[in-house]
């Protein structure tokens, strides 16, 4: 976590320097004199955001009191990963569910009638994914 804090402080410094350089360069431009505000404000706000993230990560690191496995040089990969759950590597239901969701968003963007096709597909995919271990070869 300490490496992340340092990285975001470095990014904040870089974006701050870039904002100053960009603002100065756009102000002394010979072709179009005057400050270009959109880029200067965007880079300045990116500086502030990076500083906020660095400050937050620094506070979290200080509050947890211990080093994470990612911060230790002698740590193994298995030290940092917790079990997230069981995922079926052979299941096709997530792909069908993602297709139904994409079709639903397409219906919202193009024509609402497509959503009427997507809703049954999403329901079938959800039910199939939830109950895939209750039927067939992999029933428990």
67 pLDDT above the threshold of 90: no
Angle at CA 8, nearest 5°, toward 51 and 64? 90
Question: Residue range 89-102: average pLDDT?
Answer: 92
Provide the 10 A C-beta neighbour count for residue 115.
16
Which pair of structure tokens corresponds to residue 118?
């997507």
- Where helices occur in the chain by DSSP H, the ranges are 2-27, 37-64, 93-109, 115-130
* pLDDT tens for each residue of 35-51: 889 999 999 999 999 99
140 pLDDT above the threshold of 70: no
Q: What span, in angstroms and rounded, lies between the C-alpha atoms of 29 and 112?
A: 49
CA 44 vs CA 7, 9, 20: distances in Å: 18, 14, 8
The candidate with the shortest Cα–Cα distance to 124, out of 102, 100, 107, is 100
Indicate the pLDDT class of residue 132, thresholds 50, 70 and 90. confident
């Amino acid at each position: 976590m300490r490496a992340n804090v340092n990285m975001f402080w470095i990014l904040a410094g870089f974006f701050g320097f870039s904002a100053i350089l960009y603002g100065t360069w756009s102000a002394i431009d010979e072709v179009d004199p005057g400050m270009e505000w959109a880029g200067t404000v965007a880079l300045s706000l990116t500086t502030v955001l990076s500083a906020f993230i660095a400050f937050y990560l620094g506070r979290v690191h200080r509050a947890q009191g211990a080093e994470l496995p990612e911060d230790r040089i002698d740590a193994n990969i298995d030290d940092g990963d917790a079990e997230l759950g069981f995922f079926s590597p052979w299941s096709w239901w997530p792909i069908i569910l993602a297709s139904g969701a994409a079709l639903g968003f397409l219906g919202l963007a193009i024509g609402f009638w497509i959503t009427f096709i997507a809703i049954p597909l999403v329901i079938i995919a959800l039910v199939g994914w939830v109950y895939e271990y209750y039927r067939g070869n992999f029933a428990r």
